[in-house]
């Protein structure tokens, strides 16, 4: 397993570099931060000074070499906006996103497992039709629209929930409900599909012939076989959330990494943007490794051979 992990980490390094280079170059195409940080009537000399002070006058390659040198020393630069350490800002915003993503995904997966299994028990039955309609609707509703409607109905009209922020449990309801729908809808369909095919396998018949009851057949024999596709898709959806549920975080003023990235782009706060992207990229690579380990845990056939010895 350790050998496998080491391989994965080494093979993740190159994509990470590519991501940093890409963000680095693209961010600088948004324009010179001097235009945003200096007063409108600033002289050209002041602008040049600002640019030089922040090293933005150097050729792109030199800037990049400097940046990579810093990254290797774990120095990610300072925020233009606040003067704080960029990495510290990204790390401070990340837990809010992770909490939101984790809560959403745990709820989505649990709900989808229950509904998906329930639908799969009788393909084309009443339960299946209802769940198919609900999941299709859930997966298709645009989250920004739902977020705004949610704020309008529950926060403004009814006054039950706050419009934004992170204060109190009530503040979690709308963001989670908004984020939950799509993963839930998609996962119900995946779970339903893979459960239907797992339940028609001969080993399910054989389990029944040993006296395994319906509950045991579904939870013990079929579910673990049906879990791999759901894990793949759930992983993919989690990546989307960890990446910062940008739209939802912005609408609800959720102080997560998505909002931080949007703000940094708008403010041309390059160091913070780079730190935030690098952090999410690392988190996504870690998540992918976890998903791969999840497969191996579920199914011995995909375990790396070295792990067995």
Partner 1 sequence: MKTAAQSVLPGQSRAHEVVLSVRALAVDIRTHRGTVRAVNDVNFEARAGETLALLGESGCGKSMTAKALAGIMDPVCDLAGGEVVLNGTDLAALTPKERLKFAGPELGIVFQDALTALNPVYTVGTQLGEAFRIHRGLGAKEAKVQAIELMERVGIPEPESRVNSYPHQFSGGMRQRILIAMAVALNPRLLIADEPTTALDVTVQAQIMQLLRKLREEGQMAVVLITHDLAVVAEEADSVAVMYAGNVVECGPVSEVFSDPRHPYTKGLLESVPVHVGRGARLLSIAGSPPELHDIPAGCVYQSRCPLVQDICRSERPQLLPVTDRPVNDRPVDDRPVDLQDDADDYAGALLSRPGRAAACHFSEEINNV
Binding interface with partner 1 (CB under 8 A) = 122-123, 200-203, 205-213, 216, 221, 224-225, 298-301
39/202 with CB nearer partner 1:
202
What minimum distance in Å lies between the beta carbon of 309 and partner 1?
Answer: 13
What minimum distance in Å lies between the beta carbon of 225 and partner 1?
Answer: 6
221/268 with CB nearer partner 1:
221
51/232 with CB nearer partner 1:
232
What minimum distance in Å lies between the beta carbon of 195 and partner 1?
Answer: 14
Q: How many CA atoms lie within 13 A of 272 on its CB side?
A: 27
What minimum distance in Å lies between the beta carbon of 198 and partner 1?
Answer: 10
What minimum distance in Å lies between the beta carbon of 206 and partner 1?
Answer: 5
Q: 308 exposed, middle or buried (CB, 10 Å; 0-12, 13-18, 19+)? A: exposed
151/227 with CB nearer partner 1:
227
201/292 with CB nearer partner 1:
201
47/216 with CB nearer partner 1:
216
Nearest residue to 150 via CA among 164, 136, 140? 164
196/257 with CB nearer partner 1:
196
73/301 with CB nearer partner 1:
301
What minimum distance in Å lies between the beta carbon of 290 and partner 1?
Answer: 19
What minimum distance in Å lies between the beta carbon of 142 and partner 1?
Answer: 37
82/200 with CB nearer partner 1:
200
Find tokens 């939950």 and name the residue.
Answer: 180
Residue 85: strand pairing partners: 78
What minimum distance in Å lies between the beta carbon of 305 and partner 1?
Answer: 11
Cα 156 from Cα 241, distance rounded (Å): 26
What minimum distance in Å lies between the beta carbon of 127 and partner 1?
Answer: 14
3-state secondary structure string across the chain: CHHHHHHHHHHHHHHHHHHHHHHHHHHHCCCCCHHHHCCCCCCHHHHHHHHHHCCCCCCHHHHHHHHHHHHHCCCCCECCCCCCEHHHHHHHHHHHHHHHHHHHHHHHHHHHHHHHHHHHHCCCCHHHHHHHHHHHHHHHCCHHHHHHHHHHHHHHHCCCCCCCCCCCCHHHHHHHHHHHHHHHHHHHHHHHHHHHHHHCCHHHHHHHHCCCCHHHHHHHHHHHHHHHHHHHHHHHHHHHHHCCCHHHHHHCCCCCHHHHHHHHHHCCCHHHHHHHHHHHHHHHHHHHHHHHHHHHHHCHHHCCHHHCC
């Amino acid at each position: 397993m350790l050998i496998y992990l080491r391989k994965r980490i080494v093979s993740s390094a190159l994509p990470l570099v590519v991501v940093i280079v890409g963000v680095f170059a693209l961010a600088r195409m948004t324009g010179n931060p001097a235009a945003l940080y200096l007063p409108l009537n600033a002289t050209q000399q002041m602008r040049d000074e600002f640019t030089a002070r922040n090293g933005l006058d150097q050729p792109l390659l030199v800037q990049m070499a400097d940046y990579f040198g810093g990254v290797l020393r774990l120095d990610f630069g300072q925020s233009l906006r606040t003067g704080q350490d960029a990495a510290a800002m990204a790390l401070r915003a990340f837990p809010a996103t992770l909490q939101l993503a984790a809560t959403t995904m745990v709820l989505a997966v649990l709900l989808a497992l229950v509904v998906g299994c329930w639908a799969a028990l009788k393909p084309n039955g009443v339960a299946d039709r209802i769940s198919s309609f609900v999941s299709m609707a859930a997966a298709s509703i645009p989250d920004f629209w739902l977020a705004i409607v949610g704020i309008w109905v529950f926060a403004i009209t009814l006054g039950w929930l706050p419009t934004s922020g992170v204060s109190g449990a009530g503040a979690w309801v709308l963001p989670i409900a908004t984020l939950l729908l799509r993963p839930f809808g998609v996962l119900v369909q995946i779970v339903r599909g893979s459960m239907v095919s797992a339940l028609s396998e001969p080993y399910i018949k054989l389990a029944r012939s040993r006296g395994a009851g319906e509950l045991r057949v579904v939870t013990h024999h079929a579910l673990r076989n049906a879990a791999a596709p759901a894990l793949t898709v759930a992983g993919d959806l989690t990546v989307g959330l960890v990446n910062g549920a940008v739209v939802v975080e912005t609408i609800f003023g959720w102080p997560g990494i998505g909002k931080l990235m949007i703000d940094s782009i708008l403010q041309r706060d390059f160091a913070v943007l780079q730190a935030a992207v690098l952090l999410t990229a690392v988190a996504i690579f870690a998540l992918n490794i976890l998903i791969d380990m999840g497969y191996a845990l579920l199914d011995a056939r995909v375990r790396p051979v070295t792990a067995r010895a």
